[in-house]
Amino acid sequence: MQISSTWCVPVAKYTGTKTNCLNLGSYNYLGFAENTGPCADAAYQSTLDYGAGTCSPARELGTLDVHKKLEALVARFVGKPAALVFGMGFATNSMNIPALMGKGCLIVSNELNHASIVTGAKLSGATVKVFKHNSVKSLEAILRRAVTDGQPRTHRPWRKILILVEGVYSMEGSLAPLPEIVQLKKKYKAYVYLDEAHSIGAMGPTGRGVCEYWGVDPADIDIMMGTFTKSFGAAGGYIAANQDVINYLRGASHSTTYAASVPAPVAQQIITSMTIIMGDDGTKEGEKRVAQLLDNSRYFRQRLTEMNFIVYGNEDSPVVPILLYEPGKVTSFSRELLKKKIAVVVVGFPATSIVEARARICLSASHTRDMLDYALKEINEVGDLLLLKK
Ligand code: PMP
Cα(116) to centroid(ligand 1), Å: 7
Residues 117 and 155 in one domain: yes
Q: Ligand 1 pocket check: which of 97, 111, 112, 114 to mutate, most ligand atoms within 8 Å of Cβ?
A: 114
Cβ 170 under 6 angstroms from ligand 1: yes
| CATH code of the domain containing 339 | 3.90.1150.10
Cβ 10 under 6 angstroms from ligand 1: no
| Any domain includes 71 | yes
ipTM: 0.99
Residues 370 and 262 in one domain: no
Residues 181 and 307 in one domain: no
| Any domain includes 2 | no
Residues 272 and 307 in one domain: no
Residue at a domain's end among 232, 250, 278: 278
Nearest-CA neighbor of 387 among 314, 305, 307, 324?
Answer: 324
User: How high is the pLDDT of residue 328?
Assistant: 85
Tell me if 173 sits within 8 A of 199, measured CB to CB.
Answer: no
Residues 96 and 192 in one domain: yes
User: How high is the pLDDT of residue 8?
Assistant: 52
| Any domain includes 390 | no
Residue 363 identity (one-letter amino acid): L
| Any domain includes 59 | yes
| Any domain includes 132 | yes
User: How high is the pLDDT of residue 154?
Assistant: 58
User: How high is the pLDDT of residue 12?
Assistant: 44
| Any domain includes 34 | no
Cβ 90 under 6 angstroms from ligand 1: yes
| Any domain includes 353 | yes
Residue at a domain's end among 278, 312, 345: 278
Residues 66 and 122 in one domain: yes
Beta strands at 319-325 and 345-347: parallel, antiparallel or unpaired:
unpaired
Is the C-alpha dihedral spanning 332, 336, 337, 341 positive or negative?
Answer: positive
In Å, how far from its chain's centre is CA 241? 18
The set of residues, in sequence order, having a beta carbon less than 8 Å from that of 95 and lying 6+ positions away, is 86, 120, 253, 254, 255, 259
pLDDT exceeds 80 at position 17: no
Nearest CA to ligand 1 atom 11: 90
Nearest CA to ligand 1 atom 8: 197
| CATH code of the domain containing 68 | 3.40.640.10
Predicted structure pTM score: 0.94
Number of domains in the chain: 2
Residues 207 and 293 in one domain: no
**DSSP letter string, 91-130:** HHHHHHHHHH--TT-EEEEETT--HHHHHHHHHHT-EEEE
Q: Helix axis angle, 369-385 relative to 285-306, nearest 10°?
A: 20
| Any domain includes 1 | no
For the segment 62-85, what is each residue's pLDDT rounded down to a tens digit? 999 999 999 999 999 999 999 999
Residue 213 belongs to domain spanning: 39-278
Cα(90) to centroid(ligand 1), Å: 5
pLDDT exceeds 90 at position 157: no
Least confident of 7-21, 55-69, 94-108, 185-199: 7-21
